[in-house]
Structure 1
Amino acid sequence: MPHSLFVYGTLMAPEVVKTLIGRVPPSMPAILKGYIRHPVIGHVFPGLIKCRDDNVCTEGLMYHELDYKEMRVLDWFEDVEYTRTNIEVQLVGDDSLNIETTQVYVWTNPGSDLDVAKSWVYREFRENRLDWYLKNTVKPCRHGLDELNY
């Protein structure tokens, strides 16, 4: 059975996803209400936490047609800092209000590990940190997965 996944951080970059699972699954822009992403202190990636203001939205992508093995790879990559959780997102792209249930990685480390005074911005990550992140985090993770025959 295929899975779907809402992504809001580094997994929005096609280069990151392709390096990890070998392809870029079909995706649609989506919005998650009531959650906010903040930079993780000392890192280039964000954590997503529930926000007290339900009017706050986080923009991201919803990937479709992920298989079980691909989800396991992404679980391994996200590690124990995140918990994969069911969530409802609003798909963007047509005039209708299309809400779908999917999954998302929510930050489960203590809130003190997030810089809650700042927002994490995908465009800034993409322009300034993506190449470094691919070289120093994603490719070594992929190599580790290959060694595990994951």
Structure 2
Amino acid sequence: MSVAVNSVVGIGTQNQNHNVFVYGSLLADEVVRALLNRVPSSSSATLSDYHRFKIKGRVYPAILPVQSKKVTGRVLLGISGVELHILDEFEDVEYTRTEVDVFFTENSENLRAYAYVWSNPNDPDLYAEWDFEFIIT
């Protein structure tokens, strides 16, 4: 299975490096290392006009567009095409890889990056605010 992908220029270019905004289990270096065999450079970032939800019965979150909300996370920098495919497989069909604008926490500069957005905006199992501290405690 693979993740759905919004039509984005440059998808499938194996030699191109990508930036990926992460906000859930991929915030843990151990998870990223297990998937990619390395921990890429990263920077703290914020995604505006999205909300991070808990999903009933799961330990990982979902994000969906919600005006006036924001999601904090980090951007993995310099992700190869092969690594992007690995992340697609990890996120599976429940998420759609989408191009978004994120803002670096330290200087408010923006950057175009991919984010994995929950594919079902009407999912009744989405509720409340997900907190990374919940997963590591």
Do they superpose with TM above 0.5? yes
- Long gaps (5+) in structure 2: 1-15
Higher strand share: 2
Distance 1:35 1:114, change over 3 A: farther
CA–CA distance in structure 1, aligned partners of residues 124 and 103 of structure 2: 28
Corresponding position: 1:121 with 2:131: yes
Q: What residue in structure 2 maps to residue 142 of structure 1?
A: none
Structure with higher Rg: it is 1
Corresponding position: 1:91 with 2:104: yes
Q: How many equivalent residue pairs?
A: 122
Corresponding position: 1:47 with 2:57: no
Helix, strand or coil at the partner of 2:129 = coil
Q: CA deviation at 1:92?
A: 1.1
CA–CA distance in structure 2, aligned partners of residues 31 and 110 of structure 1: 21
Q: What residue in structure 2 maps to residue 145 of structure 1?
A: none
- Long gaps (5+) in structure 1: 128-150
Distance 1:110 1:75, change over 3 A: same
Q: CA RMSD in A?
A: 1.2
Structure-2-length-normalised TM-score: 0.84
Q: What residue in structure 1 maps to residue 120 of structure 2?
A: 109
Corresponding position: 1:77 with 2:90: yes
CA–CA distance in structure 1, aligned partners of residues 79 and 86 of structure 2: 11
Q: What residue in structure 1 maps to residue 81 of structure 2?
A: 68
Check whether the contact 2:52–2:130 (CA below 8 A) recurs between aligned residues.
Answer: yes
CA–CA distance in structure 1, aligned partners of residues 89 and 25 of structure 2: 15
Corresponding residue to 1:7 among 8, 17, 22: 22
Higher helix share: 1
Check whether the contact 1:47–1:114 (CA below 8 A) recurs between aligned residues.
Answer: no
Could you report, residue by residue, the CA deviation over 1:91-128 in whole angstroms, capped at 9, with x for unpaired residues?
A: 1113xx30111110000035325332x1100112122x
Check whether the contact 1:7–1:62 (CA below 8 A) recurs between aligned residues.
Answer: yes
